[in-house]
Amino acid sequence: MSKHHVTTTLNGNAVEFLCDTQQTLLEVLRDELHHTGTKEGCGTGDCGACSVTVDGRLVCSCLVLGVEAQGKSIQTIEGMAQGTSLHPLQRKFLEHAALQCGVCTPGILIAARALLARNPDPSEEEVRFWLAGNLCRCTGYNKIIEAVLDAAHEMRGS
């Protein structure tokens, strides 16, 4: 069976790839496009480690097929910093020690950015519920929540 030819936009850049019908967007990102910053934690949409945005919508890339990227705009962790300048969320995660092992971090950063895009001034409870689909087993979430709230505060001020 021949592969599908897909044209998409990845972190603002035009990208083409070939994929099998059953390949997920996560597999395409990691195995075909070598963007391994997006992580697989479960493959069933339960952990959020593979969070990306598709046309601005937050999704688990393990639940999206690669062919569905056709004509869409995909944003992954690799596109979050502007050149050498970290996104405020990335900076605050470092300052607050909001990661231990760091494997859930790309997905949480993508999810947090999606939150702040629609709600620039979330309460602690709103952050906790928004991130309830992103599992972290190391931190107990304290410092993640603090970092998101601090980043939101800074982003509102600028």
Partner 1 sequence: MDAKVIKQEGQTLKIVGTSPVRPDGTPKVTGLARYGADFALPGMLWGAILRSPHAHARIRAIDTSKARALPGVKAVITAEDFPEQKFEFVGPERVAVNFWHMTRNVMAREKVLYEGHAVAAVAATSKAIAEEALRLIEVDYEPLPHVIDVDAAMQPDAPLLFEDMITRGIDPPPGKPSNIAKRIEFNIGDLDAGFAAADEIVEMSFKTAPVHQGYIEPHACLARFDSNGQGELWSASQGHFVVRAFTARLLNMNIGDVLVHPAEIGGGFGGKTVIYVEPLAAALSRKSGHPVKIMMSREDVFKATGPTSGSSMTVRIGVKKDGTLVAADGVFKFQAGAFPGSPVMNATMCGFAPYDIPNVRSVGYDVVSNRPKSAAYRAPGSPISAFAVESVMDAVAARIGMDPLKFRLLNACKTGTPTVWGPKHAHDGYAETIKAVLAHPAYAAPLGKNQGRGVASGFWFNNGGESSATVHVNEDGTVVVATGSMDIGGSRASMAIMAAETLGIEYDDVRAIVADTASIGYTHVTGGSRVTFATGIAVVEACKKVIVELCARAAMIWKLEPGEVVWENGCAKPAGAAAGKFEPMPLKAVAAKRALTGGPIGAEASVNAGGAAPGFATELCDVEVDPETGSVKILRFVVAQDVGRAIHRSYVEGQLEGGVVQGIGWALNEAYIYDDAGHLLNAGFLDYRIPVASDLPMIETVLVEVPNPNHPYGVKGAGEVNIVPAMAAVANAINNAISRRLTDLPMSPPKVLAAIHSGRKG
Q: Which residues bind partner 1 (CB under 8 A)?
A: 20, 22, 27, 30, 34-44, 46-47, 49, 76-78, 80-81, 86, 90, 93-97, 99-106, 109, 124-125, 127-129, 131-145
Tell me how far, at minimum, the Cβ of 41 lies from partner 1, in Å. Answer: 4
> Which one, 35 or 72, has the nearer CB to partner 1?
35
Tell me how far, at minimum, the Cβ of 61 lies from partner 1, in Å. Answer: 13
Choose among 107, 58, 102, 40: nearest CA to 78. Answer: 107
Do the beta carbons of residue 39 and residue 47 sit within 8 Å? no
Tell me how far, at minimum, the Cβ of 39 lies from partner 1, in Å. Answer: 7
Tell me how far, at minimum, the Cβ of 74 lies from partner 1, in Å. Answer: 13
| Residue 137: Cβ-neighbour burial (10 angstroms; 0-12, 13-18, 19+) | exposed
Give the whole-angstrom CA distance, residue 5 versus residue 116: 34
Give the whole-angstrom CA distance, residue 118 versus residue 59: 15
> Which one, 71 or 142, has the nearer CB to partner 1?
142
